[in-house]
Amino acid sequence: MSTTTLKLKKREERRIRAGHSWIFSNEIDTKETPLKGLTAGEVVNIEGANGQSLGSAYVNPASLISARLFSRKSNTQLNQALLSKRIQQALALREQLYPTPHYRLVYGDSDFLPGLVIDRFNDVFVVQSTTAGIDKVLEDIKAVLVELFEPDAIILRNDSGARDLEQLERYTKVIHGDMPDELEVEEFGLRFRIATTDSQKTGWFYDQQDNRRRLNRYVTGKRVLDVFSYAGGWGIHAAHYGAKEVVCVDASQSALDAVEHNAKLNKVDSFVSTIKGDAFDVLKHLRNKEEKFDVVILDPPAFIKRKKDIESGTLAYERLNKAGLQLLNDGGILVSCSCSHHLGADKLQRAILKAAQRTQLQLQILETGEQGPDHPVHPAIPETRYLKGFYCRVLKSS
């Protein structure tokens, strides 16, 4: 059976030739080639308006992003052989970077497998598909992982909101082995355990590994506040690096239970305490009590998930940073992060600066951070760069 060809409108191929892999529905010449008649996940060839081949993609006529290129060669099938090649290519990088098998193994477009995320927890693999094209080859992905790693378990976490954009069902299930009670992470000599059934996203925020490690030069002998702590990634690192006290704040009791468990696991429980509540409410409460900290860490979930949220989300970042700044001692350190793709590093920096101005404080940016190398950035796909963070020294105005 021959492969269907989709032709792009005139001049719409420039972004694809520059290296991007997403094709939007309004870029396809539907007068010349079909789109609506295709099946979600079907593999097609992509051509420019002049007939020049641009590569192979899978489609979803029901999605705004109607096609995603997975190869620059035409007539390429997204099959087990190609998946194995790409996953082994991704594995080679991670094995070079990390001493233990705890990392993001596959990061979508950046590893040339758009729509696919795989996180590795030693012998347990958590797979997340956000597209119809990847859904069609999940059995092949399972076969590749079993062949390469002989894992104890493979868990499908197909519960991302991104699936809604492709009109795909959300669900979680085990597709190989047995569901473990916990996922275990090793990170620079520290160990963390997360309940499998109550974890966020794929279970662990591997993207912040290197940024958490940077705490070692700022926290020794200090009082630290970790806001949006989840299972204690930042806070446990701070305690391990010699903080005299760490307070972890999260709205989820199960997350705080994990903090306490992980503090004991790493023998720092005498330095770590928790507060349950909405972050903004807790920060206000701490200010009213005239509490002060030497280091405040703000690592919230994305406040801006869609372009229409940019204005309100930016204001939320300003409010959050203002509240954090008000709790810092003179000369203290603010660690402020954002995982909102729509908020660039320059805009986050501006939000932090506005917050400082409103509290009559001065800032010195000491370090900047972004996602770790197991989340490589595709230079032609700006959407693959999403995490940004600032380590700031905070001083009273003089």
| Residue 321 pLDDT | 98
| Residue 307 pLDDT | 85
Examine the pLDDT at 353 and tell me if it is beyond 90: yes
Q: Is 31 exposed, middle or buried (0-12, 13-18, 19+ CB in 10 A)?
A: exposed
CA distance 72 to 274: 50
pLDDT in tens, 99-125: 999 999 999 999 999 999 999 999 999
Q: Name the one residue in this structure whose structure tokens are 């989300």.
A: 313
| Residue 195 pLDDT | 87
| Residue 198 pLDDT | 67
Superfamily of domain 5-71, CATH level 4:
PUA domain (2.30.130.10)
Q: How confident is the model at residue 306 (pLDDT cuts 50, 70, 90)?
A: confident
Token code pair at residue 225: 């506040």
- Grouping H, G, I as helix, E, B as strand and the rest as coil, residue 370 is strand
Instruction: Determine the distance from the C-alpha atom of residue 203 to the mean position of all C-alpha atoms in its chain, rounded to a whole number.
Output: 11
Mean pLDDT of all residues in 246-273: 97
Examine the pLDDT at 210 and tell me if it is beyond 80: yes
Token code pair at residue 73: 């060669």
Domain borders along the chain are 5-71, 80-180, 184-396
Examine the pLDDT at 346 and tell me if it is beyond 70: yes
CB 330 within 8 A of CB 362: no
pLDDT in tens, 213-250: 999 999 999 999 999 999 999 999 999 999 999 999 99
Examine the pLDDT at 200 and tell me if it is beyond 80: no
Q: How confident is the model at residue 398 (pLDDT cuts 50, 70, 90)?
A: confident
Task: List active site positions.
Answer: 339
80-180 domain in CATH 3.30.750.80? yes
| Residue 36 pLDDT | 86
Examine the pLDDT at 258 and tell me if it is beyond 70: yes
Average pLDDT along the chain: 95
| Residue 201 pLDDT | 66
pLDDT in tens, 156-198: 999 998 999 999 999 999 999 999 989 999 999 999 999 887 6
List, in order, residues 6 or more apart from 205 with CB less than 8 Å away.
Answer: 230, 233
Mean pLDDT of all residues in 199-221: 90
| Residue 1 pLDDT | 59
pLDDT in tens, 64-90: 999 999 999 999 999 999 999 999 999
| Residue 34 pLDDT | 85
Which run of H or E residues covers position 293?
A: strand 293-298
The pTM (predicted TM-score) of the whole model is 0.94
CA distance 336 to 321: 7
**The domain at 184-396 falls in which architecture?**
3-Layer(aba) Sandwich (3.40)
Examine the pLDDT at 199 and tell me if it is beyond 80: no
CB 332 within 8 A of CB 326: no
Burial 44-81 (b: 16+ CB within 10 A, else e): bbbbbeeeeebbbbbbbbebebbbbbbbbebebebebe
